[in-house]
Amino acid sequence: MLPIDLTGKRALVAGVADDAGYGFAIAKALAEAGAKVCVGTWPPALNIFENLLRRGKIDESRKLARGGMLEFERIYPLDAAFDTLEDAPEDIRTNKRYTERGDFSIAGLVESLKKDFGAKPLDILVHSLANGPEVKNPLLETSRKGYLAAVSVSAYSLVGLVRRLGPLMNRGGSVASLTYLASERVVPKYGGGMSSAKAALESDTRTLAYEAGRKWGIRVNTISAGPLASRAASAIGMIEEMVKYYSQNSPLTDELTAEEVGHTAAFLCSPLGSGITGTTIYVDKGYHAMGRTVPEASG
C-alpha cells in the first residue's frame, strides 16, 4: 500500500471562495491526506465565504471520509493581481470590501504567513486563480486592457506567488496550478485572452520548475482539468454545453468530478510525486487524446 501521507505539511490554496470548484476539492483532498490547509480568498467574495462557513451552509461538503471536517487554519484576503498594496489603484484600496481586510496583496499574504507560522511555514502552494473580464468576447474583440487583465490574474499571479512564497517553502515542497486545453487548441467562446493566459501559465510552469527547483528545491506542475459546472465557470456562459460535449467525445464517458482533480493534486503534492516537475498533467477523462468527435454510431 502506498498511502498519500501529508501529515505535518501545511498547504496554501489560493482561490477558494465556495465549495463548488476545483480549489475547494483540492483543499479537501490535501486535508484528507493529513495536511493543514490555509486558503487565500478574493476580498469581494470573502464575506460571503465566511458566512457560508459560519452558518454551516457547506458543512456537508466539508465532511472528510476519514472523519471530522475540513477546517481552514487561516483564511487570508488575497487579490493576486497586486504584488504589493501600493500596486493597487486608489479605488481598490479605498473600496470598503478591501479596506476592512488590511493588506490583501501577495506581499501582505507573505507577511501574514510569516507572522502566523514562522519563517518556513509552507510545504504546498496551490494556484486556483483565474479571471478574464472579457471571457465572452472573441479574441478579435478583446481589448488590450481585458487581455492583460486575464494574463495578469490567470498566469502572472503564479509567478508572483512563487517568487514571494518560494523562500517560505520547505525544501521538497510542491506547487500546483490549474490550466485548460484551450492553451493548445481552439475552444470557441473561451475568449478574452484566457486561452493565451493558460498557454502562458503552462510555459511559466516549465520555467518556474527549473528556476524554483534549483533555487529552493521545490517542484512546479500544472493540472489540465476538463470542464466543471462550478459557479465560477458559469461566467463563461457555455459550461453545461462543454461538460456534455466532453462526456460524448472522451474515452471515458462519465463526467469529470472535482474530487478526481483534487486527488491528482494531492498525489502531485505528496512524496509519491517527488520525481515529477515542469509537467502538465491531464485530468479530463482522456479528451485531450482525441483527434475528432466520436461518430454518432459509436455512442
Q: What is the pLDDT of residues 5-51, one digit of tens each?
A: 999 999 999 999 999 999 999 999 999 999 999 999 999 999 999 99
Report the distance separating Cα 13 and Cα 78, nearest Å: 11
- Coil, strand, or helix at residue 275? coil
Among the listed residues 22, 190, 246, 287, the single catalytic one is 190
* Grid cell for residue 158: 503564479
pLDDT of residue 236: 67
Q: What is the mean pLDDT, run by run of 10 residues, along the chain of 299 residues?
A: 92 96 97 98 97 97 95 98 97 94 97 98 98 96 98 98 98 98 94 97 98 98 90 68 91 95 98 97 96 76
- The answer to whether residue 214 is domain-embedded is yes
Task: Count how many domains the chain has.
Answer: 1
For residue 239, what is the domain's CATH number? 3.40.50.720
- The answer to whether residue 34 is domain-embedded is yes
pLDDT of residue 239: 77
- The answer to whether residue 60 is domain-embedded is yes
pLDDT of residue 229: 73
pTM: 0.95
Residue 38 is classified by DSSP as E
Residue 270 is classified by DSSP as S
CA atoms within a 13 Å half-sphere pointing along the CA-CB vector of 129: 30
Among the listed residues 180, 245, 282, 287, the single catalytic one is 180
- Coil, strand, or helix at residue 33? coil
SS (H, E, C) 246-263: HHHHCCCCCCCCHHHHHH
pLDDT of residue 202: 98
- The answer to whether residue 1 is domain-embedded is no
Active site residue 190: yes
Active site residue 210: no
Q: At which residue does the C-alpha cell 485531450 appear?
A: 288
- The answer to whether residue 244 is domain-embedded is yes
Q: Identify the CA nearest to 129 among candidates 176, 164, 80, 180.
A: 80
Render 142-167 in DSSP notation, one character per residue.
Answer: --HHHHHHHHIIIIIHHHHHHHHHGG
Render 52-102 in DSSP notation, one character per residue.
Answer: HHHTTTTHHHHB-TTSSB--EEEEEE--TT-SSGGGS-HHHHTSHHHHTT-
What's the domain range around 93?
A: 10-285
- The answer to whether residue 294 is domain-embedded is no
- The answer to whether residue 96 is domain-embedded is yes
- The answer to whether residue 260 is domain-embedded is yes
Run of H or E residues at 126? strand 122-127
- Coil, strand, or helix at residue 203? helix
Report the distance separating Cα 86 and Cα 82, nearest Å: 8
| Average pLDDT of the residues of the chain | 95
pLDDT of residue 296: 75
